[in-house]
Chain A
Amino acid sequence: MKRLSILLLVLTIATGLVGIMGSMASAQKVKTEFKVEDLIGVVKINPGESIHIAAWMVVAGPDASLGTDTKRGIEIAIEEKGRKILGFPIKLTVQDTGCNAEGGQAAATKLAADPTIIAAIGSSCSSEARPGAPILWKAGITTVSPSATSPDLTDPTKRGREFEGFLRTAHNDKVQGAIAAEFAWKQLKVKRAATIHDGSIYAEKLQAIFSETFKKWGGTITSQEAVAPTDTDMRPVLTKIATGKPEFIYYPVFIAAGGHITRQVKEVKGLEKAALMGADGIFSPDFYKAAGERAMGMYHSSPDFSAFGEGYKTFLEKHQKKYGEKPIAPFHAHAYDAAIMIFSAIEKVAKKGPDGTLYIGRKALKDALYATKNLKGLTGNLTCDQYGDCADPRIAIYITKAENIKKLEMPEKPFWTPYSGPAGQTPPKK
């Protein structure tokens, strides 16, 4: 008897629920004659609400300059847009990522839980993008990274479907690593080089490409060492490197470890004369702070500012006016470009309902981003390929002089570019 009553109760509740849901569904149908369909989902923005864009980048810790710089690029892009797309105000949320996998995962998880976010800009570091981008894409959020440069992220053999929502305006390190090797071999004419990476997919891949290319040119790689990003005492590993007698050390790591290596390398016997080179991850005034005067004469590979589009000069003036200083890392323009890429994609796919509500299809937005073609950005003409690489990569080599360290400013003029030999000539237009 008792069982029967429970069964009856469950049945009534179930039918009740079905009935309520059915009536709700029909009510919705009646309400929206205007319909936007999307395979993944549609974001509905009522009049008065804002278009929510998220930034996930490293804005705290030793590498804060990298993310702060890109954040400023986005802020300037928003301002230039008049803080509005299609009459809806733009809202920007920033989430710190710490430049490591855990931080990237945490930030992405947080953002993925917010259904109002339409698109994201980030991450700063490749190791954040690897766990983070799939989490965002699972929630239907497409992300455009201004500075995650590791080749793996857009490599068709390594990039699974979960990375479909990841694009970047940053260059691919396939370019950067090869140019660094070319510079070492052709310009510096060194024959023996050593590399150090920190286990991140950025540094590890970059040094691998450098080594591969350097060997192709005919050079010898004396050793490929690794440290942890939090290591402070680099003297033992440098002593080990010194046994191979390299003339050149390439360490495309991040600021904390890069600073320690630069400071300690001259203290190790046999490395006093070795030429030093880092990459875009440590091309920042903060690195000069970390490395001190020992950074003098050091080389960096980084985007070629002199090859940037015409708008870059006005951008720099705005930057100076708004923040009272020059850019503090190399990727502000890439972030600006990522922002305008997203804005123009939103403008393309957003549909306004009769009541003024804005509908944005998530898959449509992603497709529109991938379809970006010849978009005039600060870094050049952006054209995305099917794997998410959108950059028009021009890499140059910079040298650090005493005044750069004194004023804590990055050098503005390239020292060497692959297309023109020693700098001073204009690069060929693509």
Chain B
Amino acid sequence: MLKRWRERITPTDVVMWFIGGTLLLLMFWGSTATLIEGRYTSHHWFDFLIFGLAQGSIYALIAMGYTMVYGTLRMINFAHSEVFMSGPYTAYFVAAAFYSSGFLDRQPILSLIFIFLVSMATSTLIAVLLERIAYRPLRTAPRLVPLITAIGASFFLQYTFRGLYGSGFQAYPVVKILEGEWMFGVFRILKFQAVVIVAAALLMTALYLFVQRTRMGKAIRAVSEDKEISSLMGIDIDRMIVTTFVIGGMAAGAAGVLYAVMFKQVHFFMGFIPGIKAFTAAVLGGIGNIPGAMLGGIFLGLVESIGPSLFLDGLGIVAPYQLKDAIAFIMLVLVLIFRPTGILGERLAIKKA
């Protein structure tokens, strides 16, 4: 047993483990030093946690789109960040109209629902068009082809929206009922962050149940297992693939409005960074796996919010938030060293790769 184990280990593994171990040690050292220094109170940590959760749930919603498309088509839909951008950018004009007519202040909930619907509808439309025009004709092509197409589609969409809505940015109006904060005992939580977290959690649960419990969800899972066998079983593959794009688009559109509620600024390039982060989250959680994408997103959000203070403050690094993205990607490296398929990932080596 020990001998077989020793035969399987390569020098690369040892080096990787060494890197991983060093990083872990650094993290541990930094965290201990920060905690001993005692600069942050429990209130601060709670705030970091909530900020991270809110940001993370948006990543998680976008990551759903990446992971579902990967599950069925085995391709990374790099244009998904533009699917995310198109919804809230279009819905901005509805929001602005509501705001200037005073409807937003009189009927905030109704207008929010309407804004959500417009955003989700636009994102879904873009996602479906993308599938129909850019990906379906290439389904039998080698794998690299749709990947390059996705990047091209991403640029095309970005500059189309730049042409449509201008190259500047737009600012979402403030929704008054979402301003302010709620107190839970001694802890405080900003209203809109609570709404973002709850809304994202509800949506993700609904999507998860849809995929796990309904007939259609079952069909989608079957397609992602094996396309040929599923089609022999009478499953309409094209329809299932479109459905995954619809679901991904809806999640991205909803995430877009939540993003706009949290950060207010929308512009044609807004999808790029969240898209990259969500893709990272999907890989982190194990690409192709839906609960993995959710977990990866929230994990990434938390690391970005807590990480710089917790890991780097104690190491005496100045301006640690500059390194936020570096920490997020180091986390990805760490996870991939110890679990190459991601946190909840399936074993690709055996089945499909």
Interface residues of A (CB under 8 A from B): 59-62, 64-65, 197, 199, 224-228, 230-233, 235-237, 239-240, 242-243, 255-256, 259-260, 263, 267-269, 286, 289-290, 292-293
* A221 vs chain B, min Cβ distance (A): 11
Which chain B residues border A242 with CB–CB below 8 Å?
A: 44
Contact A259 B171 (CB under 8 A): yes
- 1/0 contact trace for B165-184 toward A, CB 8 Å? 00111110010000001000
How many Å from the CB of B173 to the closest CB on chain A? Answer: 8
Q: Residue among B162, B168, B190, B318 with the most chain A CB within 10 A?
A: B168
Q: How far is the CA of A290 from the CA of B265 in the complex (A)?
A: 6
Question: Most B CB atoms within 10 A — which of A197, A242, A267?
Answer: A267
What is the CA–CA distance of A245 and B263 in the complex, to the nearest angstrom? Answer: 24
The interface bits of chain B over 243-273 (1 if a CB of A lies within 8 angstroms of the residue's CB, else 0) are 0000000000000000100111101010011
Q: How far is the CA of A255 from the CA of B265 in the complex (A)?
A: 11
Count how many pairs of residues, one from A and one from B, have CB atoms less than 8 Å apart in the complex: 104
Chain B positions 121-174 with a Cβ under 8 Å from a chain A Cβ: 162, 167-171, 174
Q: Specify which chain A residues have a CB less than 8 angstroms from the CB of B265 in the assembled complex.
A: 62, 232, 256, 259-260, 290
Q: Which residues in A have their C-beta under 8 angstroms from that of B25? A: none
Q: Is the CB of B43 within 8 A of A228?
A: no
Selected from A61, A228, A233, the residue in CB contact (under 8 A) with B51 is A233
Q: A242–B171 Cα gap in the complex (Å)?
A: 26
| Given A62-B267, A225-B321, A263-B264, residue A243 in contact with residue B171 (CB < 8 A) | no
**Can you name 26 A-B pairs with beta carbons within 8 Å?**
A59-B167, A62-B267, A64-B168, A65-B168, A197-B319, A225-B319, A225-B321, A226-B321, A227-B324, A230-B272, A230-B273, A232-B259, A233-B263, A233-B305, A236-B309, A237-B308, A239-B48, A239-B309, A243-B39, A243-B44, A259-B171, A259-B265, A267-B190, A289-B171, A290-B264, A292-B264
Tell me the smallest distance from the CB of A96 to a CB of chain B, in Å. Answer: 9
* Cα–Cα distance between A224 and B322 once the two chains are bound (Å): 11
Q: Which residues of A contact B309 (CB under 8 A)?
A: 236, 239-240
> Measured between C-beta atoms, what is the minimum distance from B39 to chain A in Å?
5
Q: Are A259 and B267 in contact (CB under 8 A)?
A: no
Known: A225-B319, A256-B169, A293-B174. A236 touches B43 (CB 8 A): no
Complex Cα spacing A182 to B324, Å: 32
Could you tell me if A227 and B322 are in contact, using CB atoms closer than 8 angstroms?
yes
Q: Which residue of A lies closest to B309 (CB)?
A: A240
Q: Which chain A positions have C-beta within 8 A of B273?
A: 230, 232
Q: Within the complex, what minimum Cβ distance (angstroms) separates A243 from chain B?
A: 5
**With an 8 A cutoff between CB atoms, is B93 at the interface?**
no
Shortest B115–chain A CB gap in Å is 17
Closest to B269 in A: A61
Q: Please, what's the 1-or-0 string for B294-318, where 1 marks a CB less than 8 Å from any CB in chain A? A: 0000000000111011000100001
Interface residues on B, range: 35 or more
* B47 near A286: Cβ-Cβ < 8 Å: no
Q: Tell me if B18 is interfacial: C-beta within 8 Å of chain A.
A: no
Which residues does chain B contribute within 8 Å of A235, judged by CB atoms?
47, 51, 305
For B313, the chain A residues whose CB sits under 8 A away are: 240
Task: Tell me whether B325 is interfacial, beta carbon within 8 Å.
Answer: yes
Q: Are A236 and B263 in contact (CB under 8 A)?
A: no
Name B186-237 residues within 8 Å CB distance of A.
188, 190
Cα of A65 to Cα of B169 in the assembled complex, Å: 11
Question: Are A62 and B51 in touch, CB under 8 angstroms?
Answer: no
The docked-state distance in angstroms from the alpha carbon of A231 to that of B313 is 19
- Could you list 7 further interchain pairs (A-B, Cβ under 8 angstroms) beyond the known A60-B168, A286-B169? A60-B167, A224-B319, A236-B306, A236-B308, A237-B321, A239-B44, A268-B47
Q: Kindly list chain A residues whose C-beta atoms are within 8 Å of the C-beta of B322.
A: 199, 225-228
B280 at the interface (CB under 8 A from A): no
Cβ-closest chain B residue relative to A231:
B324
A61→B272 CA distance, assembly (Å) = 13
- Nearest residue (CB) in A for B44 is A239
Q: Which residues of A contact B318 (CB under 8 A)?
A: 224
The 10 closest A-B pairs by CB, nearest first: A226-B319, A60-B167, A226-B322, A237-B321, A236-B305, A232-B263, A235-B51, A289-B171, A62-B169, A225-B319
Give the residue name and chain of the A residue nearest to B173 (CB): A292
Q: How far is the CA of A230 from the CA of B39 in the complex (A)?
A: 27
- Which B residues are in CB contact (< 8 Å) with A267? 181, 190
Contacts of A60 in B (CB 8 A): 162, 167-168
Query: Is B65 an interface residue, CB under 8 A from the partner?
Result: no
Task: Select from chain B the residue with minimum beta-carbon distance to A293.
Answer: B174
Contact with A along B37-53 (1 / 0, CB 8 A): 00110011001100110
- Residue B55 at the chain A interface, CB threshold 8 Å: yes
Residue from the set B55, B304, B308, B322 with the largest chain A CB neighbour count within 10 Å: B322
Give every chain B residue within 8 A of A268 (Cβ-Cβ).
47
Give Cα A259 to B52, complex, Å.
Answer: 20
A7 vs chain B, min Cβ distance (A) = 48
A269 to B52, CA, bound (A): 16
A228 touches B319 (CB 8 A): no
Contact of A286 among B55, B168, B188, B263 (CB under 8 A): B168
Taking a contact as CB atoms under 8 Å apart, the answer to whether A233 and B304 are in contact is: yes
Instruction: Tell me if A243 and B40 are in contact (CB < 8 A).
Output: yes
> Which A residues touch B325, using CB under 8 A?
228
Closest to B323 in A: A226
Looking across the interface, which residue of chain A has its beta carbon closest to that of B52? A236
B48 touches A236 (CB 8 A): yes
Q: How far is the CB of B144 from chain A (nearest CB, A)?
A: 26
Which of A61, A65, A227, A293 interacts with B321 by CB under 8 Å? A227
Q: How far is the CB of B89 from chain A (nearest CB, A)?
A: 14
B44 / chain A contacts, CB cutoff of 8 Å: 239, 242-243
Do residues A292 and B171 form an inter-chain contact, with CB atoms below 8 A?
yes
A61→B304 contact, CB < 8 A: no
B171 with A64: CB separation less than 8 A: no
B-side contacts of A259, CB under 8 Å:
171, 264-265
Cβ contact within 8 Å between A228 and B47: no
Distance of B74 from chain A, by nearest CB (Å): 30
Bound-state Cα–Cα, A414 to B167, Å: 31
Q: Which residues of A contact B272 (CB under 8 A)?
A: 230
CA gap between A93 and B79 in the complex, in Å: 33
Q: Report how far A335 CA is from B276 CA in the complex, Å.
A: 37
Assembly CA distance A228 to B55 (angstroms): 16
Q: Min CB distance, B159 to chain A, in Å?
A: 11
Q: Which of A197, A236, A290, A292 contacts B174 (CB 8 A)?
A: A292
- CB contacts (< 8 Å) of A255 on chain B: these are 169
A-side contacts of B319, CB under 8 Å? 197, 224-226
Residue of A nearest to B47 (CB): A239
Contact of B168 (CB < 8 Å), options: A62, A237, A292: A62
